[in-house]
Amino acid sequence: MVIIGAGLTGLSCAVRLHEAGLRVLLLEADRAIGGRVQTDQVEGFLLDRGFQVYLDAYPTAGNLLDLDSLGLGKFEPGALVWKGGEFRRVMDVWRRPKSALTSALQPIGNLFDKLRVARLRYRLRATPIAKLWAKSESTSEQYLADLGFSKGMIDTFFRPFYGGIFLERGLATSSRMFEFTFKMFSEGSATLPASGMQAIPLQLAARLPEGTIRLETAVLGLRAGAVELARGEAIPADHIVVATDGDQAATWLGAEVKAPKWQSVLGLYFDAPASPLGEPIIALNGDGQGLVNNVSVPSDVSPHYAPAGRSLVSVSVLGSPDESNLEARVKSELTTWFGPEVADWRHLATYRIRKALPAPSPAEDFPGKACQNLGNGLYVAGDHLTCGSIEGAVTSGLETAEAILRKPVF
């Protein structure tokens, strides 16, 4: 049994097959596991490769993982929205009832918008996830307009907030994905593991026997019953799972696999003497002008993200903007938000992530089947088949494992 790709999909598949008694070999071209979910250690800081969170309401991932051992720190259920030269606090009033009056009075949408949020929250919490995926769909922008949300609410709150999730402010992402993520935020919290997002794949890898994962092992191609490696090496396998990104799967398998579209992002990290936010909350660009979409301070959520006495600031810039003097331009923009203290921030790293998130649109019949069985023991898996999320990746891996376990393995 060979699985290609040690991201969350491949690891989830491997764990399920191993715990069912099968022998598994997992091949990974990179020097580390995790795929898009990796964390680098730089001068005592933990830098996730792009701003990421784990939603603790994910049902499938939550059942597979030991969440307690991850030491999850929680973001506040709400946001600070930069609009008109000041921050406006918008909170989930069901979990922060003391903020009900101040949130209602903020000029982010109108009173009817806030009532629509309450109605939407109630409806989606009562709807099973399977029913969400089966509904008719549109773009998220059209969906919100059809619900009656004002342009001000959509532009000032939903675009920057979901821009940070979908990595696009146009809200062109499927309304099914919007409903799924809205439901997850309503039922739980956005969190960070104490030792960084890569703690999630590392936890899965720890459940596999030593020698199961071969790192820095590039696969050159596939043929019937075998995986071809460099220097003429071929690994025979009755079952092969291609758990790479969709582009690589399409390169090997041609028209049988559809390469996904991708959203890209620039993630910048700064070392700051003190947190500009002072609490575990996300700050959003509600004006829609400039480079920055959202700012967070991971060390406010988990102090392990920064050395003692320092703060780690994370800034997300969507798309592929002109990168000339990027760090200086971002700091100049955020000086308007946070004042002259930004001058003391020291740039740590910038991650240019072209393949940050598979980006299905409503016209692409999203989501598809979590496992693509091509016959002759060959399977394709990954969140490009389901939904671009940790939940989507884990679900695809587990469902692929179940498909294999339903067939005799020789």
C-alpha closest to that of 239 among 93, 19, 400, 121: 400
216: in domain: yes
Q: Is residue 142 part of a domain?
A: yes
Check whether residue 377 and residue 389 sit in a common domain: yes
Q: Domain check: are 154 and 205 in the same one?
A: no
Task: Supply φ then ψ for residue 303, to 5 degrees.
Answer: -65, -15
Assess whether 282 and 315 both reside in one domain: yes
| Stated length of the chain | 410
The secondary element (H helix, E strand) that includes residue 186 is helix 175-187
245 vs 12, 37, 103, 218, 385, CA distance in Å?
A: 15, 13, 41, 14, 10
Listed as ranges, residues in the chain with pLDDT below 50 are 409-410
Clarify whether residues 220 and 277 are in a common domain: no
The pLDDT score that the predictor gives to residue 369 is 82
pTM: 0.94
Cα separations in angstroms, 39 against 15, 35, 268, 271: 21, 10, 14, 16
Could you give the number of structural domains in the chain? 3
344 and 285 inside one domain: yes
Question: Which 3 state secondary structure label does DSSP give 83?
Answer: strand
Q: Look at residues 80, 51, 83 and name the one whose alpha carbon lies nearest to residue 289.
A: 83
Return the pLDDT at 226.
92
Instruction: Give the pLDDT of residue 237.
Output: 93
Residue 250 to residue 315: CA distance in whole angstroms: 32
For residues 253 and 376, state if they share a domain: yes
Q: Specify whether 368 is located in the same domain as 352.
A: no
Which structural domain, as residue segments, surrounds residue 112?
A: 95-188
CATH of the domain at 388: 3.50.50.60
Beta-carbon contacts of 26 under 8 Å, excluding residues fewer than 6 positions away, are 2, 3, 5, 6, 10, 11, 14, 208, 212, 213, 214
**Does 410 fall in a domain?**
no
Is 139 among the domain residues? yes
Query: Does residue 78 fall inside a structural domain?
Result: no
101 and 142 in a single domain? The answer is yes
Determine, yes or no, domain membership for 87.
no
CA-to-CA dists, residue 238 to 24, 257, 375, angstroms: 11, 20, 11
End of a domain among 149, 170, 188? 188
Residues 371 and 400 in one domain: yes
89: in domain: no
The pLDDT value recorded for residue 187 is: 96
How far, in Å, CA of 24 to CA of 266, rounded?
A: 36
In terms of Cα–Cα distance, which of 348, 305, 354, 311 is closest to 330? 348
From 188, 216, 241, the end of a domain falls on 188
Answer yes or no: do 255 and 284 share one domain. Answer: no
pLDDT at 165: 93
Within this chain, do residues 27 and 47 fall inside the same structural domain, yes or no? no
Instruction: Clarify whether residues 100 and 176 are in a common domain.
Output: yes
Position 84 in a domain:
no
- How far, in Å, CA of 314 to CA of 74, rounded? 16
Domain boundary among 130, 153, 188: 188
